[in-house]
């Protein structure tokens, strides 16, 4: 049974030098069949045209966070959001046109739900479906180990009331995963779910970094588990995460062999197309 109260939704986007991606992201928000009630772009000391692009959209509110890291920018955006639901995406996230509608519906029909997250379809990998499945595999492993669903910061939403409850407990530091951190905290307050009809297109730019950068980035997840769940679970996650080095081989295969072949065949693109398909609501 659907809640008669019409929930409001704010979308928060932390940004740092995102001029390559932000326009496509904001265009996907402008194309929503149900518009969000608020869109907040939090500039984290950008030196390119990111802020100029954000301000060119009338529905965008631009904030500034001088402390350098996504965890600080995220908290600034969350604290400023005034809606019932806080949606969290990245500048390279491309939302399906019914994302806002579907997110609002999930929270409206499930009062005990504190957060949801969706998957991704990378638009800068030749092997898109395979890359998406690998992403989901590691997310599921981390979620089962944690005992609660791990949110993916580039495509998730939480209740503002629960953020207000945990915001004094979040770890605002650059050497952890802020989405995993809030997942541990939110998991003690209610249910977190992975849902299937809010999948967003996104860049897999993180996996295109050097192996050293990859190692530093990926093992911030292990550090988050150590802080929130203890040494035992962090050690298990480390053993799981170490297998990501095989994924690096997949990235090399994708970049140097598959991508050039797909480009010749005309089936590879670097920027996404906004989905125009509207899927009926699960609870309608």
pLDDT at position 4: 45
In degrees, rounded to 5, the angle at the alpha carbon of residue 116 between the alpha carbons of residues 224 and 6 is 140
pLDDT at position 7: 97
User: Under a CB-based contact definition with an 8 Å cutoff, are residues 14 and 92 in contact?
Assistant: no
Q: What is the CATH number of domain 9-265?
A: 3.90.550.10
Mean pLDDT, rounded, for 41-49: 97
pLDDT of 46 over the 60 cut: yes
Tens-place pLDDT, residues 217-242: 889 999 999 999 999 999 999 999 98
Mean pLDDT, rounded, for 164-188: 95
> Would you place residue 263 in the very low, low, confident or very high pLDDT band (cuts 50, 70, 90)?
low
pLDDT of 30 over the 80 cut: yes
- Strand pairing partners for 12? 40, 88
**230's torsion region: left (phi>0), alpha (psi -120 to 50) or beta?**
left
pLDDT at position 259: 58
Tens-place pLDDT, residues 77-119: 999 999 999 999 999 999 999 999 999 999 999 999 999 999 8
Q: What is the pTM of this model?
A: 0.88
């Amino acid at each position: 049974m659907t809640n008669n109260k019409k929930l409001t939704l704010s979308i928060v986007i932390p940004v740092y030098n995102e001029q390559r991606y932000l326009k496509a992201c904001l265009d996907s928000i402008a194309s929503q069949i149900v518009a969000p009630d608020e869109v907040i772009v939090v500039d984290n000391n950008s030196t390119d045209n990111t802020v100029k692009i954000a301000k060119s959209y009338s529905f965008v509110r631009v904030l500034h966070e001088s402390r350098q890291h996504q965890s600080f920018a995220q908290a600034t955006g969350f604290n400023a959001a005034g809606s019932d639901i806080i949606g969290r995406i990245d500048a390279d996230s491309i939302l399906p046109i019914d994302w806002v509608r579907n997110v609002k519906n999930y929270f409206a029909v499930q009062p005990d739900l504190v957060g949801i997250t969706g998957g991704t379809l990378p638009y800068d990998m030749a092997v898109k479906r395979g890359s998406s499945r690998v992403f989901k595999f590691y997310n599921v492993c981390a979620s089962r180990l944690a005992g609660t669903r791990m949110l993916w910061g580039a495509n998730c939403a939480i209740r503002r009331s629960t953020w207000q409850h945990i915001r004094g407990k979040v770890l605002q530091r650059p050497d952890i995963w802020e989405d995993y951190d809030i997942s541990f905290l939110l998991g003690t307050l209610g249910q977190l779910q992975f849902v299937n009809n809010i999948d967003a297109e996104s860049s897999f730019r993180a996996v295109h970094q050097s192996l050293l950068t990859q190692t530093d980035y990926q093992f911030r997840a292990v550090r988050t588990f150590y802080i929130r769940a203890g040494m035992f679970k962090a050690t298990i996650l480390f053993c799981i995460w170490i297998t990501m080095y095989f994924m690096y081989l997949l990235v090399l295969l994708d970049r140097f062999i598959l991508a050039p072949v797909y480009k010749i065949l005309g089936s590879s693109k670097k920027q996404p197309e906004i989905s125009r398909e509207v899927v009926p609501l699960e609870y309608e």
